[in-house]
Amino acid sequence: MKQSIGIFDSGLGGLTVLKVLAQKFPQESFCYLGDIARLPYGNKSPETIRKYGVQILNFLKDQNVKALIIACNSASTVFLGEHDFEGIPLLNVIEPGSREALRVSSDKKIAVLGTSATIRSHAYEKTLKELDSASVVIEQACPLFVPLVEEGIVSDPITELVAERYLAEIKKEKIKTVILGCTHYPVLRPDLSKTLGPEVTLVESGEVLSLQLKTLFESGKIKAEPTSSRQIRVCITDLTDHFERLAQKLMNPEPIGQLEKVVL
């Protein structure tokens, strides 16, 4: 029976990650779970986020997955350093994102943008310092970015004003490498680039996760599926027309089937 790759996020923002993975691994099937009913995770406590995360990992485990990916940065902070879930390889976005930021940075001065939960956890700062003790890290919570993306307010004067406010210190410190430590932020790339300038490198989770996944295949920990028709399932814990439209928009031009409403 065809096995898929399980991937989860607190909502639909993780589709920015799924889209990249679906394009990089065209023969693989994916099962995505967006916990829309309980979104956002970014303002919740580590205990609550972990409880939700374990429920979702169990749900995905039951869907015949061969690997599990936590696309949500806020959820990744509470599974840091855990590389399997009940025997299934588990990837989070924080370790690969930190490695990639250090790889592309020439001065090791790195800024991290994220939700309040992600920034409060200092997960990126800890990981970056563990990987390179000489790194200098500035962390910035950007809680208004997620609702702006959810409302489709992108490439807009309001978004630019908010970006100017959040990114002021990063600009002042002349940071050249910025980790987009939240599933939703790749959608804001045009606004962020405009505010920060073209010389600043923005590190996204989707790209770095695809390298991690490639390593899992190469090491033999998971096996590639034979080239036959693949399936991309998008399951969510609540469903309205708004989510249907947002999902299509975030995955465009990758086609997705009907969203499935599931109970965890």
| Min separation Cβ 114 and ligand DGL, Å | 6
Smallest gap from residue 38 Cβ to ligand DGL (A): 8
Shortest Å distance, C-beta 2 to ligand DGL: 27
Q: Is 13 in the site for ligand DGL (CB under 6 A)?
A: yes
Residues 205-264 that bind ligand DGL (CB under 6 A): none
Q: Which of 6, 42, 97, 186 binds ligand DGL (CB under 6 A)?
A: 42
How would you write the chain as a 3-class SS string? Answer: CCCEEEEEECCCCCHHHHHHHHHHCCCCEEEEEECHHHCCCCCCCHHHHHHHHHHHHHHHHCCCEEEEEECCHHHHCCCCCCCEECCEEEEECHHHHHHHHHHHCCCCEEEEEECHHHHHHCHHHHHHHHHCCCCEEEEEECCCHHHHHHCCCCCCHHHHHHHHHHHHHHHHCCCCEEEEECCCHHHHHHHHHHHHCCCCEEECHHHHHHHHHHHHHHCCCCCCCCCCCCCEEEEECCCCHHHHHHHHHHHCCCCCCCCEECCC
Site string for ligand DGL, 164-193 (x = CB under 6 A): ------------------xxx---------
182 catalytically annotated: yes
Asked about 142 being catalytic, the answer comes back as no
Binding flag, residue 56, ligand DGL (CB under 6 A): no
Residue at shortest CB range from ligand DGL: 42
CB of 174 to ligand DGL, least distance (A): 26
Residues 137-156 close enough to bind ligand DGL by CB under 6 A: 146
Interacting residue ranges for ligand DGL, rule: CB under 6 A = 9-11, 13, 39-42, 72-74, 115, 118, 146, 182-184
Question: Which are the catalytic amino acids?
Answer: 72, 182
